[in-house]
Structure 1
């Protein structure tokens, strides 16, 4: 039997950011195969051109070599080279029936984990081994519960089929879209997604979640002409000035009356020295809105500002979408079913009677949910409570491991209930 706490701590010690989850995904494949579960992974479950914000080849290669060094099976992760790190487990039931899918994200964050004595992973010796990378959002727990669920359902003693979707690159909302575009969700009748924590305390459960915003993550690259800033400034074309002008005007986009909006330029990089006109500049930014339509309008305005700012300085600009998500609308039927099944889990003391609307972030599981609903299926996004000592994406983030058992028990009940109704 899989030791969930030991497995979660192993994943926590080896955090891998989006599209570099070679060791994590490789271990998932090994464990699923040990349960005699059919496994698909790599390019057979991801549409390459639909991936967003894939790291540079050098970063991918370094992560691949690190995974090999830390025990990843070379025969397995060979198929994941280049950042194809999604894994799909398929468990066939003992008679015909519907298809139920569960989604688990695997990636970590580019955060330096705390080494202070009051941080449990540091105190108990399972702090991140990869400096600058950390599981600061609970995805180590999500991956672990996916394995726990696989073990519970391995015998296929149910009608229909269960799909276990282990997704890379949720952070930055980058990884789900390529799985959707590959057609992995096209035969799914019911989809359950969930998250640990998100401000919901240990012992509490929400059968649905609202408040997720539509978002688009963008990268803008400006290219000008370098010149000596003292001797011949008129020969230069200043990419930094174009990027700075764009930044100020992007933040000046007005708010909307018909929907909540957010906008932020998170990165501006340019320049090499005080006496050189900058030839290159880069912006990384995001738009968000409670309305998918308004978010598209924000993106159009950003694109116009970037182009105009480039024209003012006589430079060129290219814009690339590096991530995205849409709002989530949970199906009431599944929300209520999840709440009913949660009542049988002793670890849940409080069952929410409605969906949580406190998210105000974004989730690329939204694309999976939308595809299932477009095909006539139903989906929900649930929250399993955890008292984390620091907020998500914080160097001291951690989860209470007893929540892993609550989640596995609930997901197994949901699989069996959904398949037999």
Structure 2
């Protein structure tokens, strides 16, 4: 088996945030091609026009040029310009049969990784070499599992079609929708998604999850008029005050008695000097709920608050959707398959049917579309004991679970591709 731990450590050293995963995607493309997979990437794997939260052209230019300089200009890299970092590996079995897909997310987070000696990546010299960016959620492990699994299946000793979906920009709910719209799961009969950790210890797995949260991520801007804060404050229109008004009222929205809800304003930026009335401010925020209808209502109320905060302070304002997730359900037959295979594996000590997820996941767009087209889907949690929670500077996986995950995926593929 391909060394899944070495792969994981390589990805961990070179983290890249959503839609800038140029090195990661290039490596995945190269390995899949070397294994004999047909590989779709660039605009063949996603619809660029319906992506959420796309970085600026300058960010793309800087990150792409840095990777191209390190790797050398390659055909597979050039097709990814502009953040087209989605990949689909396709392998045809020796006879006709069903189409079974697996989804792996590949992006990192804007978190500065700990360099303390009790943090294993620092101690063992595979800490992030990108300042302010790290794999703090386990997607390095997901990507490595996907490639080791691809190697296990490369002999084509199965019936049907295997699809491996390597998705960018899961964080913030930004990448899956554009791949769905490109049609990459239109023909899928069964879809397996998974996440490492998520509160389950090593040796446990969950065949499915519940409590996905629908979410909407918004960026709002306020534009006013700058003026001298001392001698002409009345001539200015204070964009930061408008944004602050919106922030306080958004955070004050009531919670619901009929559904779980979350609201958070995560960023607020404005102004550039202590003695200037700020002419511009922007904020990023999210709404979440386990009810899509409630989340839609929360978003509506947030939009009204932004609008009226702008009007109140005589400001121009605007709102952009920068991310989105929805809810999904796991099919019972799929969970039974997972349970049956996992229960025969010596390294898995306990198998649950459900695990409460309690977060947003844009894999839900893949799941819902597969089910809409007549297929089935599930989302597994593969336990990994963690030294720190997800999105923490000391987050690290239990690497011993990686080959176990590869084995489980391989068994599921052999079971369903026949």
Shift of 1:73: 5.6
Quote the residue 1:410 is aligned against: 408
Contact 1:27 1:72 in 2 (8 A): no
1:6-405, aligned counterparts within 5 Å?
A: 6-71=6-71, 74-352=74-352, 354-357=353-356, 359-405=357-403
The separation in 1 between residues aligned to 2:70 and 2:329, in whole angstroms, is: 40
Shift of 1:275: 1.6
Distance change (3 Å), C-alpha of 1:137 and 1:225? same
Match of 2:2, SS state, is coil
The separation in 1 between residues aligned to 2:190 and 2:294, in whole angstroms, is: 29
Shift of 1:325: 0.4
TM-score (norm 2): 0.98
Match of 1:163, SS state, is strand
Match of 1:390, SS state, is coil
Runs of 4+ in structure 1 over 2 Å off: 68-74
Q: Deviation string for 1:77-112 (max 9, x for gaps)?
A: 100011000000001112221111000000001111
Contact 1:23 1:72 in 2 (8 A): no
Q: Deviation string for 1:350-384 (max 9, x for gaps)?
A: 111x2101x21110001100101111111000011
Contact 1:149 1:411 in 2 (8 A): yes
Match of 2:355, SS state, is coil
Q: Deviation string for 1:88-140 (max 9, x for gaps)?
A: 00011122211110000000011111111111111111111111110111100
Shift of 1:301: 0.5
Match of 2:333, SS state, is helix
Query: Please, what is the CA RMSD of the aligned residues?
Result: 1.0
Q: Deviation string for 1:248-278 (max 9, x for gaps)?
A: 1111211112111110101111011122111
Q: Deviation string for 1:54-86 (max 9, x for gaps)?
A: 111111112112222333662211000110000
The separation in 1 between residues aligned to 2:8 and 2:290, in whole angstroms, is: 34
TM-score (norm 1): 0.98
Shift of 1:193: 0.2
